Every structure is written in C-alpha cells, then in structure tokens.
C-alpha cells in the first residue's frame, strides 16, 4: 500500500519496509509480520536499536495522531501550511508528517529521494512553509551555502545529533532550524526546540523521566504497542516492553524544568587507553571540520579494537583530496586519546535511508 493513502481512522493494519531491502530481508520481515498478533488499526515498522536484531515495532494509528496533534500545537501549524516531505515513509519521521497534515489540513509536497538542488527548487517553487530533515541533509544545505527562502517557517531536525557549529552556520544562512528529539517507539518527536530557544521543550502529549541508571523513560498515548522479533531459538515472539505504562529507551539524558537534555545513546561510549570517549561528540567535531575544510567526499568516525589501547579511533573517507587537512584539523580539536590513529579509503560509506552511518556494515568493510 502507498503510505500517502493511509486512512488514519480505519481498522486497517499495514507493514511498511524499505523498498530497497533485499528479497531475503523483506521475506524475514514478512515472516515476522505474519507471526505477529492481529492488531487492529496499527502500523508495523522495522526498528533495530543497539542489539542490531531484526524486529518490527507496532504503533497504533491513534498513537501517531496523538503525536501529530502535539507537534501541530507546538508549531502552530494549520491548513495554510505546506509540508515538504523528504523523509522515508517507512519511518515515523515521514509518516508523522502525513499524520500532522491529516489533522491540520495542511498540504504535503513529496520529494521521493534526497537531492539538494531538487529540494531547494521544490521548496521555492511550491512555497513550502515546513519541512523535516536529518543532520546529513542540513549539512548539505550549509555546505552549499544556500540561503533560506523567506516563506519557510521552520525545519524540524531529527534522526541524529546536530552539532553546535552546524546549527550556527545554517541559522546564519537564514534556515529556521528546530532541533528535536524523538524515537520510533514514541511515534516521532517528544521534545522540540522553538526559534527563540534551541533547548528541547518536552511536548504536551508525553511524560518523561529518567531511570536510576540515567536512561530516558516515556509514558503517553503515542507509545508503541510492542515489538515482534526472533528470540534466542529463532522463533518470532511478541513483547510489550512497557512496565506500568513506562517505556525505557536506550538513550541517556536528564530533565531540567520542562526541557529534555539528551546525553547519548547506549553503545556510543568506548574506552581508549582507559579513557572514556564519546563517539557522538567526535562525530560532531568531524561534522564541524568538514564544514570548514575544502572536502567534497564523505567521511565517518568508527572505533575499532586495538590490542594495546583496547579501542582506537579510525576515519573512513571516500575522497583523498583534502583528507590530510581534515585529519590534522580534527586532531587539533580533540584530546590526545581521542585523535584519529588510522585512516581507510572506501568507495562509499554505508548509510541508512536517514543518512546515519551503518556502523556494523562499515566495520565489516574496513
């Protein structure tokens, strides 16, 4: 089914997966879906998390609409808006825009694949007022030094951390960035900035707290129904991870007043020679360096095992021109134990449909 034709109030249930998945992967998702409980009015989407297991998450249509109502209220969105939809429709980011437009009566302009020039043309020609991008796409706008059209009210930025340097550079070009924090299990964003304050304001449809271990927990109408995944014996099993209505995420953070402070994802901390290194912070440094240097390729940070130090930092790149300057600048910006010690050339860096580096695939390719 085409997700743009979802009946948000019907009992119909759907499975949406990446159309570019291999036949084998699609078949595995289909087997999970077939074995899943027959839930009425739900949408099943692939998700992974730090375990890397193939699994599907079940989100009810009312969960999407609860999230959409809160986001619309936060953005003051109504029928005069026109969303430029660039995100995949097998992710909550893309589906969330459809749900918001359904409630507000806003128009949706669809861009089926990311192309910076086509995005800018469509944005300008259709006079779109709202859009949602991932940091990789924001980087493309900033690197090209494209000026924002005056009719664009805001860009929700999710799907990964946005560095301060990239935020500042893009705002200087006139782009009204609204950093956000969200997760699949909550049917999209739960905290979003305003133009006046880049802190992440917790939206009014969700309760947020921290566990004793510092993990973010959520409760509200937009939460998942549950997961289906293969257990240790390879048998599909459905699990509801909520306890007393609370879902514990894999993300660390804290709450100050009504604002959420994201502190990193489980698995992003490594030890280098006994020192703690936050890979997400290093990725932000790299993002800033790539903005400043003349470098036209792709690059990514990865941590790999080292016999002496336990772990060392590696840089993978796709273009030799300017790479020495990138490494030198990066190493000048970080602590000695955080420096890049090895570099690797690859023809391409594997990324997800949202532009996130597929770390496991990348490590296998090195």
pLDDT in tens, 191-206: 999 988 989 999 999 9
| 128 C-beta neighbours (distance < 10 Å), count | 23
What is the pTM for the complete model shown?
0.84
DSSP H or E segment with residue 85: strand 82-85
Lowest-pLDDT choice from 45-49, 60-64, 110-114, 314-318: 45-49
Q: What is the pLDDT of residue 156?
A: 98
Is 269-365 the same fold as 3-265?
no
148: pLDDT strictly greater than 90: yes
9-20 pLDDT, tens digit per residue, is: 999 999 999 898
Q: What is the pLDDT of residue 48?
A: 59
143: pLDDT strictly greater than 70: yes
Q: Which two tokens stand for residue 193?
A: 């900035």
Q: What is the pLDDT of residue 162?
A: 83
113-132 pLDDT, tens digit per residue, is: 999 999 999 999 999 999 99
What residue spans define the domains of the chain?
Answer: 3-265, 269-365
265 pLDDT band (50/70/90 cuts)? Answer: confident
164 pLDDT band (50/70/90 cuts)? Answer: confident
Average pLDDT of span 76-81 = 98
What is d(CA 14, CA 176) in angstroms, rounded to the nearest whole number?
A: 34
Q: What is the pLDDT of residue 239?
A: 96
Q: Which residue has the tokens 């409630």?
A: 103
How far the first Cα of the chain sits from its last, in Å, is 38
Q: Which of 5, 13, 17, 62 is nearest to 39 (CA)?
A: 13
Q: What is the pLDDT of residue 331?
A: 94
Q: Greater confidence, 366 or 15?
A: 15
Average pLDDT of span 253-262 = 95
Q: Which residue has the tokens 């550079």?
A: 169
Contacts of 323-329 with CB under 8 Å at 24 or more apart are 323/295, 323/297, 323/299, 325/293, 325/294, 325/295, 326/286, 326/289, 326/290, 326/293, 326/295, 326/299, 329/289, 329/292, 329/293
Distant-in-sequence, close-in-space partners of 103: CB < 8 Å, separation ≥ 6: 65, 68, 69, 72
DSSP 241-288: --BTTBEEEEEEEEEETTEEEEEEETT-EEEETTEEEEHHHHHHHHHH
Q: What is the pLDDT of residue 51?
A: 46
Lowest-pLDDT choice from 65-69, 147-151, 328-332: 328-332
Q: Which residue has the tokens 């939206």?
A: 203
Hey, what CATH class is 3-265 in?
alpha beta
Give me the chain's average pLDDT, please.
92
87: pLDDT strictly greater than 60: yes
Q: What is the pLDDT of residue 130?
A: 99
In angstroms, the Cα distances linking 238 to 33, 44, 227, 352, 358 are 10, 12, 6, 25, 26
- For domain 269-365, give its CATH number from 3.40.50.10320, 2.40.50.100, 3.90.1150.10, 3.30.300.30: 3.30.300.30
153 pLDDT band (50/70/90 cuts)? Answer: very high
277: pLDDT strictly greater than 80: yes
What is d(CA 14, CA 349) in angstroms, rounded to the nearest whole number?
A: 31
3-state SS assignment for residue 156: strand
Average pLDDT of span 75-94 = 96
Q: What is the pLDDT of residue 52?
A: 52
């Amino acid at each position: 089914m085409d997700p743009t034709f979802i009946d948000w109030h019907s009992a119909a249930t759907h499975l949406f997966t990446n159309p570019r998945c291999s036949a084998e992967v699609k078949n595995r998702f289909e087997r999970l879906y077939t074995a899943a409980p027959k839930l009425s009015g739900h949408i099943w989407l692939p998700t992974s998390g730090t375990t890397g297991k193939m699994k599907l998450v079940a989100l009810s249509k009312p969960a999407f609409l609860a999230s959409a109502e809160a986001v619309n209220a936060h953005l003051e969105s109504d029928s005069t808006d026109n969303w430029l939809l660039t995100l995949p429709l097998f992710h909550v980011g893309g589906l969330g825009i459809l749900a918001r437009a359904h409630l507000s009566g806003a128009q949706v302009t669809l861009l089926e694949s990311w192309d910076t020039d086509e995005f800018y043309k469509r944005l300008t020609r259709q006079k779109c007022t709202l859009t949602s991008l991932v940091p990789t796409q924001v980087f493309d706008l900033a690197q090209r030094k494209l000026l924002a059209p005056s009719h664009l009210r805001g860009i929700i930025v999710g799907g990964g951390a946005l560095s301060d340097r990239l935020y500042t550079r893009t705002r200087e070009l006139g782009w009204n960035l609204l950093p956000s924090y969200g997760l699949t299990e909550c049917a999209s964003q739960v905290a979003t900035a305003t133009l006046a304050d880049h802190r992440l304001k917790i939206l009014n449809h969700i309760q947020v707290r921290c566990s004793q271990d510092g993990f973010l927990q959520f409760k509200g109408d937009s939460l998942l129904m549950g997961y289906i995944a293969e257990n240790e014996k390879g048998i599909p099993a459905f699990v509801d991870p909520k306890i007393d209505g609370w879902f514990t995420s894999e993300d660390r953070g804290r709450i100050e007043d009504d604002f959420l402070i994201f502190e990193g994802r489980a698995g992003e901390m490594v030890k280098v020679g006994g020192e703690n290194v936050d890979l997400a912070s290093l990725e932000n440094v790299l993002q800033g360096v790539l903005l400043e240097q003349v470098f036209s390729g792709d690059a990514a940070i990865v941590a790999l095992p080292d016999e002496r130090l336990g772990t060392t930092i590696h840089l993978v790149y796709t273009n030799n021109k300017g790479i020495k300057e990138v490494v030198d600048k990066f190493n000048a910006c970080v602590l000695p134990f955080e420096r890049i010690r090895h570099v690797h050339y690859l023809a391409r860096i594997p990324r997800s449909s949202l532009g996130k580096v597929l770390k496991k695939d990348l490590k296998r390719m090195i």
